[in-house]
């Protein structure tokens, strides 16, 4: 009899978890992946978003024009000036599943939150959680630890302004050694501001406010000058801003009831179809859809009654209709654009002419590339991508949402580094792509080079991004190079490739640099891996006298057994962040253009820093090199 058959299965095998136990045991069901804060979709940002969503719902309903947020020492405080939670239900709202006002479609007709789960997840996944509500000169406060109530204060009189305050500290037992990255928090806050004109959000003393909505969003996210002025269209339950840029890919920012649907959904699919239909009808020409949409930059926001998302984190809309009795989203979006976009193009002949010339240019480029693209695809197949260049993972991009969030592709240099990572990786979610030598500096080159250059062609094929980000094979793209001059150069060349041809991959937070330790400090009992000089000095103090110190020079020189520590649950990733005020053209010109005096000074200054560190590394202790 097998061990499975021998396993005891009786009444004692059945166990019921209470709400907080279930959330803590299965956090992925509620907040997606956990992460350490290096990715925009990591759990700590979902907790912040859930707390924010309740404040936004109050504003949308017409209560409170100000929200205050502070994050300090991993502790988060979110305060709105809405109506405040009804005092008798404060504890229930944050600690009882299926409790909340959002079941009342009159009170929250088009709310962001779903099913009263969000704040409970924040509570259960925080080592400390506190909620206070002020209404009619009275305050009610409750405190929790890991979802367990520790203080249930009596209702008391107060002079505070009405509203709700939530204070929480994400549990390090759940999230590990995490950190909030300000740029990610600011991006989330700006999106709330764009979608709620008139609302002011205060974050750590800075005020975020938008007067022109999605127009401001598009203007702030343009990588360079648009081909024509931003088209801004608004109607009941829908707002659209669009233009075309000089990038090769399509770029979308889509929202439902104020929620940033980073994975798109039915509304984004509808807008892509509708733009093509309206443009074809306007010019009375059957243009190829790809020629119309190439280089488009578009933001869309719609309001839906009781929206259905594909996961609790609400990153992809699944609803087909605007509500239980509303029209189809596809029809609604098309009817709106048929009228508004068509009218705009008739009233602005300069814009319609610029758009026409862009479509004609895209058509010419596509035809010029058609033969090359066909040959490039055939070459990719002949190279036998999955056996030679790519060691794939088991999770596919059409797997469930939770699994997709954890897929990672390591881009490595050389056979030795590739071999170490391949032997150490988690084959379920981690894949490895091996570069052959230094990639080409593609700055200023056309997309033709992507198909003609074998490395770029195979990488594009592996990522499945030839036609945009919709079918991106891996959620996390990690550049894994040596921490030396050559490794830094390869990093820069790869970042240039993505920014030049697929900038939205960077903007959407998919690109990272793998941080690997510079030193190993150990004695007979303890081993410490150090990522900086400060960590090295601290480790030396911990191990005491006569430490053995190893300076790692290359990834291929780190054994697979050791590598498991660096790409497992304690992986350190440095996100490549494209700043809100960064100009893509200027960045690429500075780093990868002609060798200007400014860049020479930049390199000299940074080499001096490396030299100073090297001087500090001169060993007094025993020092070996790996």
Q: Does residue 595 carry a pLDDT above 60?
A: yes
Is there a domain that residue 29 lies in?
Answer: yes
- 8 or 108, greater pLDDT: 8
Lowest mean pLDDT among 76-80, 104-108, 550-554: 104-108
**Could you tell me if 260 and 163 lie in one domain?**
no
Q: For residues 575 and 511, is the Cβ–Cβ distance under 8 A? A: yes
Q: What is the pLDDT of residues 425-482, one digit of tens each?
A: 999 999 999 988 889 988 888 888 888 898 899 999 899 888 777 788 999 999 998 8
Q: What is the largest CA-CA distance in the chain?
A: 81
8 within a domain of the structure (yes/no): no
- How much is the pLDDT for 603? 60
Q: Are residues 343 and 397 in the same domain?
A: no
- Indicate the DSSP class of residue 317: B
Beta-carbon contacts of 349 under 8 Å, excluding residues fewer than 6 positions away, are: none
Instruction: Determine the average pLDDT of the residues in 580-600.
Output: 71
Q: How far apart are CA 333 and CA 323, in angstroms?
A: 14
Whole-number pLDDT of residue 22: 86
- In this structure, the answer to whether residues 199 and 303 fall within a common structural domain is no
Q: DSSP characters for 405-444?
A: HT-EEEEEEHHHHHHHHHHHS-TTTEEEEEE-SPPP--TT
Q: Are 304 and 110 in contact (CB under 8 A)?
A: yes
Which phi-psi region, left, alpha or beta, contains residue 264 (left: φ > 0; alpha: ψ -120 to 50)?
left
CA distances from residue 38 to 52, 53, 182, 498, 571 in whole angstroms, order as listed = 20, 22, 11, 19, 10
Q: Which domain holds residue 118?
A: 20-208
Residue 156 pLDDT > 80: yes
Domain edge (last residue) among 315, 336, 367: 367
Percent pLDDT > 70 in the chain is 86
Question: Would you say 416 and 423 are in contact if contact means Cβ atoms under 8 Å apart?
Answer: no
pLDDT of residue 623: 45
pLDDT of residue 621: 43
Q: Quick one: 400 and 300 in the same domain?
A: no
324 plus 248 within the same structural domain? yes
High-pLDDT (> 90) share of the chain, %:
48
Please tell me the distance from the alpha carbon of residue 208 to that of residue 159, in angstroms, as a whole number: 27
- Count the helices and strands in the chain (H runs, E runs): 24, 24
Task: Kindly state the average pLDDT of the residues 548-568.
Answer: 84
Last residue of a domain, one of 181, 208, 235: 208
Q: How many domains does the chain have?
A: 3
> At 8, is the pLDDT very low, low, confident or very high (cuts 50, 70, 90)?
low
pLDDT confidence bin for 116, thresholds 50/70/90: low
pLDDT of residue 608: 45
Distance of CA 45 to the CA centre of its chain: 10
- CA R_g for the chain: 27
Task: Answer yes or no: do 122 and 153 share one domain.
Answer: yes
Same domain, 287 and 204: no
Q: Tell me the CATH number at 388.
A: 3.40.50.670
Same domain, 390 and 491: yes
List, for residues 283-337, the tens digit of each pLDDT value.
Answer: 999 999 999 999 999 999 999 888 888 766 777 888 898 887 788 999 999 999 9
One domain for residues 343 and 420: no
Nearest by Cα to 433 from 468, 401, 476: 476
Whether the per-residue pLDDT at 253 is higher than 50: the answer is yes
Q: How confident is the model at residue 400 (pLDDT cuts 50, 70, 90)?
A: low
CA distance 187 to 357: 33
120 inside domain: yes
| Domain limit, last residue, from 208, 237, 266 | 208
- Residue 147 shares a structural domain with residue 255: no
Among candidate residues 448, 439, 426, 307, the one with its CA nearest the CA of residue 370: 448
Residue 69 lies in a domain: yes
Q: What is the pLDDT of residue 341?
A: 97
Residues 6+ apart with CB under 8 A from 348: none
Looking at residue 619, its pLDDT comes to 44
Strand partners, 519: 530, 551
Cβ of 458: how many Cβ atoms within 10 Å? 22
Residue 256 lies in a domain: yes
Q: For residue 417, is pLDDT > 80?
A: no
Measured CA to CA, the distance from residue 495 to residue 53 in angstroms comes to 34
Compute φ and ψ for 167, nearest 5 degrees: -125, 130
More confident position, 261 or 341: 341
Vertex 223: Cα angle to 356 and 449 (nearest 5): 75
Closest CA to 96 of 199, 41, 185, 20: 20
The answer to which of 83-97, 229-243, 590-604 has the lowest mean pLDDT is 590-604
Give me the CATH number covering residue 105.
Answer: 3.30.565.10
| pLDDT at site 69 | 98
Is the separation of the CB atoms in 170 and 127 below 8 Å? yes
Q: How large is the average pLDDT for residues 26-39?
A: 88
Contact 125, 31 (CB under 8 A): yes
Residue 333, domain CATH = 3.30.230.10
- Residue 534 maps to a domain: no
Domain contains 357: yes
| Mean pLDDT for the stretch of residues 91-105 | 69
Q: Is 197 among the domain residues?
A: yes
User: How confident is the model at residue 405, as a pLDDT?
Assistant: 80
Backbone phi, psi, residue 419, to 5° = -65, -40
Summarised one tens digit per residue, pLDDT across range 510-528 is 999 998 888 899 998 899 9
Based on the fold, state whether residues 444 and 304 are members of the same structural domain: no
Residue 570: φ, ψ to 5°? -100, 20
- Which helix (H) or strand (E) segment is 500 a member of? helix 485-501
Residue 205 confidence (pLDDT) above 50: yes
pLDDT of residue 561: 84
Q: Across residues 579-600, what is the average pLDDT? A: 72
- Look at 272-281, 573-582, 607-616 and tell me which has the smallest mean pLDDT: 607-616
136 and 61, same structural domain?
Answer: yes
Q: At residue 46, does pLDDT exceed 50?
A: yes
pLDDT computed for residue 626 by the predictor: 46
pLDDT exceeds cutoff 60 at 13 = no
Q: How confident is the model at residue 625 (pLDDT cuts 50, 70, 90)?
A: very low
């Amino acid at each position: 009899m097998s061990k499975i058959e021998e396993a005891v299965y009786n009444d004692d095998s059945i166990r019921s978890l209470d709400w907080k136990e279930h959330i803590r045991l299965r956090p992925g069901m509620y907040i997606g992946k956990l992460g350490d804060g290096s990715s925009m979709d990591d759990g700590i940002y979902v907790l912040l978003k859930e707390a924010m969503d309740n404040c936004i719902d109050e504003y949308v309903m017409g209560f409170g024009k100000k929200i205050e947020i502070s994050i300090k020492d991993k502790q988060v405080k979110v305060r709105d000036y809405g109506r405040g939670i009804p005092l008798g239900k404060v504890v229930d709202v944050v600690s009882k599943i299926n409790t909340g006002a959002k079941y009342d479609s009159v009170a929250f007709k088009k709310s962001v939150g779903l099913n009263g789960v969000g704040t409970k997840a924040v509570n259960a996944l925080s080592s400390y959680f506190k909620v206070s509500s002020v209404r009619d000169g009275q305050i009610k406060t409750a405190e929790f630890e890991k979802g367990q109530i520790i203080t249930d204060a009596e209702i008391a009189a107060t002079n505070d302004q009405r509203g709700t305050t939530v204070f929480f500290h994400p549990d390090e037992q759940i999230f590990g050694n995490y950190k909030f990255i300000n740029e990610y928090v600011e991006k989330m806050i700006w999106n709330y501001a764009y979608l709620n004109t008139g609302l002011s959000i205060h974050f750590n003393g800075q005020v975020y406010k938008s007067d022109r909505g999605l127009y401001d969003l598009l203007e702030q996210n343009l990588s360079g000058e648009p081909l024509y002025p931003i088209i801004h269209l608004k109607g009941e339950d829908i707002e659209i801003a669009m233009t075309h840029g000089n990038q090769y890919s399509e770029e979308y920012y889509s929202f439902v009831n104020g929620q940033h649907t980073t994975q798109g959904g039915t509304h984004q699919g509808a807008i892509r179809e509708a733009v093509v239909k309206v443009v074809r009808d306007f010019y009375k020409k059957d243009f190829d859809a790809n020629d119309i949409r190439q280089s488009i930059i578009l933001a869309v926001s719609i309001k839906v009654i009781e929206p259905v998302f594909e996961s609790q984190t609400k990153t992809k809309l699944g609803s087909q209709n605007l509500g239980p009795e509303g029209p189809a989203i596809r029809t609604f979006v098309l009817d709106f654009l048929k009228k508004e976009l068509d009218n705009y193009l008739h009233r602005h002949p300069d814009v319609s002419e610029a758009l026409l010339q862009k479509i004609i240019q895209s058509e010419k480029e596509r035809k010029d590339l058609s033969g090359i693209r066909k040959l490039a695809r055939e070459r990719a197949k002949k190279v036998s991508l999955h056996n030679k260049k790519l060691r794939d993972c088991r999770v596919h991009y059409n797997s469930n949402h939770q699994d997709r969030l954890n897929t990672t592709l390591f881009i490595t240099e050389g056979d030795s580094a590739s071999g170490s990572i391949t032997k150490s990786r988690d084959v379920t979610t981690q894949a490895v792509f091996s570069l052959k030598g230094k990639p080409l500096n593609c700055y200023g080159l056309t997309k033709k080079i992507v198909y003609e250059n074998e490395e770029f062609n195979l990488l594009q094929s592996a990522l499945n991004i030839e036609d945009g980000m919709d079918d991106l094979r891996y959620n996390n793209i990690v550049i894994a190079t040596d921490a030396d001059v050559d490794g830094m150069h390869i990093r820069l060349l790869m970042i240039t490739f993505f920014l030049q041809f697929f900038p939205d991959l960077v903007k959407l937070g998919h690109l990272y640099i793998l941080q690997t330790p510079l030193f190993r400090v150990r004695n007979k009992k303890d081993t410490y891996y150090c990522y900086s000089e400060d960590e090295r000095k601290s480790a030396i103090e911990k191990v005491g006298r006569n430490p053995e110190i190893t300076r790692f020079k290359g990834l291929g020189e780190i054994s697979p057994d050791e590598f498991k520590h660096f790409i497992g649950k304690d992986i350190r990733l440095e996100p490549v962040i494209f700043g809100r005020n960064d100009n893509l053209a200027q960045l690429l010109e500075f780093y990868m253009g002609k060798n200007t005096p400014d860049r020479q000074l930049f390199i000299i200054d940074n080499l001096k820093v490396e030299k100073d560190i090297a001087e500090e590394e001169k060993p007094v202790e025993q020092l070996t090199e790996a």
